[in-house]
A and B are shown apart, each in its own frame.
Chain A
Amino acid sequence: MHELSIAHSIVSQAGQAAERAGAGRVTAVRIVVGALSGVSGDALLFSYDLATEGTLLAGSRLEIRNVPVVLHCATCDRDVELPDVQLFRCPVCATPSLDVRGGRELEIEALEVEDALPPLATSEP
């Protein structure tokens, strides 16, 4: 269960990006999780609320986009998606492949943010 430390990394990186962008609050974080990333989406969601507590991301949603393993098949000469991660063979022609082109992703794609409130206007004398 390393999802809590992954969640902390997400919170720290997203928090820095939000500050750079001048955001007041983060409402959602969109991430991509590959089938070969070694990360469980459920465990990550569970850890996320804990990791965001007391940060700019408190109360935000974690939106996970799961992506499959993509292999390059030398026989078909194209990239193919695997239906599961138990068989590293081309689903079309059954050629085994070690050439993994996708599925290891663990990436923050984007943030949804609210801007910081503008400073209160001071009345000029």
Chain B
Amino acid sequence: MPTRIVELRQGVLNKNDQLARALRERFTREGTLVINLVSSPGTGKTLLLEQTLRRLVGAGTRAGALVGDLETDNDARRLAASGAPVRQINTHGRCHLEAEMIGQHLDAWQAGPFDVLFIENVGNLVCPSSYDLGEHHRVVLLSVTEGEDKPLKYPTIFNSADVAVITKYDLAAACEFDDAAAMASIHAVRPGMRILRTSARSAPGLDAWMAWIDERLGRVIVPAP
């Protein structure tokens, strides 16, 4: 049987990309700053978010969070203690969040409007890099216990992020963390990326992170495609 060629030229993730664009337009229209947090499991996304939400709520900012995990609502319950509305998204085995899940959960959630909405992605440095969730900013976390060359091992996600946060910085000395080497790896895959350092036990790093969020609140601008 003879064969013939059918030209297609179609993005495999077109549907996700279209949904993400629509979400970003909606967030921008509603004046909600949306930040997607990505990292390996155990880097400290939830702890950073817990402290961030507490501070924002304390300052009267309308903050909320969508939290992705394969199973359990442990993180959502932990984050809800901050006083901010939090909703858990269970992916039941899927290794990342997709724009469709964000849209469905927002529609089913009686919360908002928000000044800032955080999306805590599933702990994974590979799969979430392919899925735009409609966020304005993607923040990648790296802890001092993980190894300074992690950005070189996962260049795709580091290249796609706008800011890197180095967590557990109070353990840096104990882990013999080489800050210069980490900076060099981050900047090799994303030249000039802003790097912040935080720790659960000291305020200064968190202040810089809060200032970074504050600078973006109220001026939600859609980045150029």
Contacts and interface: CB of A to CB of B under 8 A. Distances in A.
A56 interface: no
A3 B192 CA distance: 31
Contact of B6 (A1, A31, A110): A110
Q: Which of B6, B96, B130, B187 has the most CB of A within 10 A?
A: B6
A2 B127 contact: yes
A1 B152 CA distance: 19
B3 A6 contact: no
Interface SS of chain B: mixed
Interface string A1-34: 1100110011001100110010100010001000
A18 B111 CA distance: 43
Contacts of B94: 2, 5
A36 B159 contact: yes
A100 B187 CA distance: 15
A122 interface: no
A44 to B, nearest CB: 10
B108 interface: no
Contacts, number: 105
A53 interface: no
Given A36-B156, A96-B192, A107 B10 contact: yes
A18 B6 contact: yes
Given A2-B95, A38-B157, A17 B189 contact: no
**Category for how many chain B residues contact A:** 20 to 34
Contacts of A18: 6
Given A1-B95, A85-B189, A89-B191, A10 B12 contact: yes
A7 to B, nearest CB: 9
B5 A112 contact: yes
Interface in A68-92: 85-89
A106 B8 contact: no
A47 to B, nearest CB: 12
A52 interface: no
B66 interface: no
B80 interface: no
A23 B130 contact: no
A99 B95 CA distance: 29
Contact of A108 (B5, B10, B159, B189): B10
A38 B9 CA distance: 19
Given A2-B95, A38-B129, A96-B187, A111 B5 contact: yes
A67 interface: no
Contact of B189 (A38, A88, A109): A88
19 contacts: A2-B95, A2-B96, A2-B126, A9-B15, A36-B155, A85-B156, A86-B189, A87-B188, A88-B159, A88-B189, A89-B188, A89-B191, A96-B187, A97-B191, A98-B191, A98-B192, A100-B159, A108-B12, A115-B2
Interface of A: 1-2, 5-6, 9-10, 13-14, 17-18, 21, 23, 27, 31, 36-39, 85-89, 96-98, 100, 106-115
Would you list the 3 A-B pairs with minimal beta carbon distance, nearest first?
A96-B191, A2-B127, A38-B130
